[in-house]
Amino acid sequence: MTLIFTVLIFLGFMLMLAIGIIFSRKSIKSSCCGAADLAKDKASCDKVTKQTE
């Protein structure tokens, strides 16, 4: 019974997160040098990132 209750709570939180993503209407951002800003026809990241020391 505890396992079923835990799975239901977990699925409920995942559903709430999905609804939040859908209604926020923002694109999901990745960590690959701003891949959300790239043109859709580019397959790879052309930007070069500089590391400051």
Residue pLDDT, tens place only, 1-53: 999 999 999 999 999 999 988 888 776 666 665 555 555 555 555 555 555 54
**Residues 36/29, Cβ–Cβ less than 8 Å:** yes
Q: What is the pLDDT of residue 20?
A: 87
pTM passes above 0.75: no
Q: What is the pLDDT of residue 23?
A: 85
Q: What is the pLDDT of residue 9?
A: 98
Task: Give the separation between CA 31 and CA 43, rounded to whole angstroms.
Answer: 15
Q: What is the pLDDT of residue 24?
A: 83
